[in-house]
Structure 1
């Protein structure tokens, strides 16, 4: 638990420091309420100006804490617990970052909102690598290298105005590809359902966010906007990824133990 917290909090603080320098002044980010379809409520405090889009970030924190304290139904190896706890803490830290972006409309939290998305997606293929290789062959150095590469890939946002979208697309494709591959090799009907729900939630996260303003013209989406529902899908994407990865971890451990006997 201490290692997971340390390994999330230290890079988090470092990224916060860098985001508050002039390094990312040229990155294309939206810093206006016009970017969101939800209308600002003037009589509410600034941190609740867009109440639905703000409060939905509590779901990240709740979901992250749930999986951080999850005990499962079988003994959990140290490496598997570490992977789960880090992924859960990423969700816990990510919620306040998004909330701060909405509350302040400043460049630094907007950059962090984009930046942290990349290592979160990268953690999925990293966890899958552990499932495929097993505790004996999995190395923490591999995790460090992949996460460092993911963090550095945000440099594409400095090179081109659509660099972040390119980096994110690559991360999503890699996560889905590795998920499908490990499902075909080690999965069952239950994990197939979790994977399908995670992929559908990911699609909803992307599509609903892109259609935020278009959906806003309809009364049904005036307050609970496309952006709000995209965040709901993002939380579900997190949750079903946890379900998929923890279930696969348990089932592969069971198969390995049976083979040894």
Structure 2
């Protein structure tokens, strides 16, 4: 149990460390990012400004990042328990661990970007998003075609290197992210085709709705205040992050349903 968790932790730590080194070495400084309050709709109310520290300019957009840590930690605990009870295979536990450790890592990274508002932190925030989505594709292929170290390594390497598109195009990150979202959906679809259980179908629909809200609300962030001033306090960006956190939760539920179905069928065969 513990060695699998340590292996997953090292997987995420090493890949994140590589990205951090490349970002803070300065090789990606010419990537276009959006920094400054003008790119966010949230404005703290005058009352809150009197009690909040000056560096906390967007309280909701900052605090929502704890959601990634909470959801990631919850699912890590679930898998730790189920793996200990031998209700889940080690390779399946590994895939769950990697995904949710990524969630726990992403929360603080996004929080630092919001609070410190630095160009390199914005690059880091964008870059670590890509392997997060790619892991859903790897996970889906693991369910439908069993685990492959080579496939996981190649997919991760392609995912990490795809961020170089941002060096050549202002919308390079958006292009790479769009391709990653499509791949994640494809991987999930094929895994569901292999084990079509109702619970997985429901979770897939909820995850897709959350993913859509994540994308749409983020794009509408600066436009929503034109509809109502409420969205200056509770911004589209904040709401999109809630959708993102829920997307992680339902992705876990989706793969849990598939994993349970797969395990049950393998037990019957044995």
- TM-score bin (small chain): over 0.9
- Structure 2 matches for 1:98-137, cutoff 5 A? 98-134=110-146
Partner Cα separation in structure 1 for residue 224 and residue 142 of structure 2 = 40
Task: Write the deviation string for residues 192-245 of structure 1: whole angstroms up to 9, x where unpaired.
Answer: 000000011000000000000111231332211100000000001111000001
After the TM superposition, which parts of structure 1 deviate over 2 Å for at least 4 consecutive aligned residues?
40-48, 71-74
Which residue in 2 is equivalent to 1:207?
Answer: 216
Q: Is the 8 A contact 1:63 1:239 kept in 2?
A: yes
Partner Cα separation in structure 2 for residue 45 and residue 6 of structure 1 = 35
Q: TM-score scaled to structure 2, two decimals?
A: 0.91
Relative to structure 2, which stretch is displaced further, 7-16 or 178-187? 178-187
SS in structure 2 of the partner of residue 37 of structure 1: coil
User: 2:72 matched to 1:64?
Assistant: yes
Task: Write the deviation string for residues 141-171 of structure 1: whole angstroms up to 9, x where unpaired.
Answer: 2212111110110011111111111100001
Partner Cα separation in structure 2 for residue 181 and residue 211 of structure 1 = 32
Partner Cα separation in structure 1 for residue 37 and residue 8 of structure 2 = 35
Structure 1 residue 191, shift from structure 2 partner: 0.8
Which residue in 2 is equivalent to 1:247?
Answer: 257
Task: Write the deviation string for residues 99-126 of structure 1: whole angstroms up to 9, x where unpaired.
Answer: 1001111011100111011000000010
Instruction: Could you tell me which runs of 5 or more consecutive residues in structure 1 were left unpaired when the two chains were aligned.
Output: none
Structure 1 residue 181, shift from structure 2 partner: 2.7
Instruction: Could you tell me which runs of 5 or more consecutive residues in structure 2 were left unpaired when the two chains were aligned.
Output: none
Q: Is the 8 A contact 2:88 2:263 kept in 1?
A: no
- Aligned residues between the structures: 257
Q: Is the 8 A contact 1:67 1:88 kept in 2?
A: yes
Q: Is the 8 A contact 1:47 1:102 kept in 2?
A: no
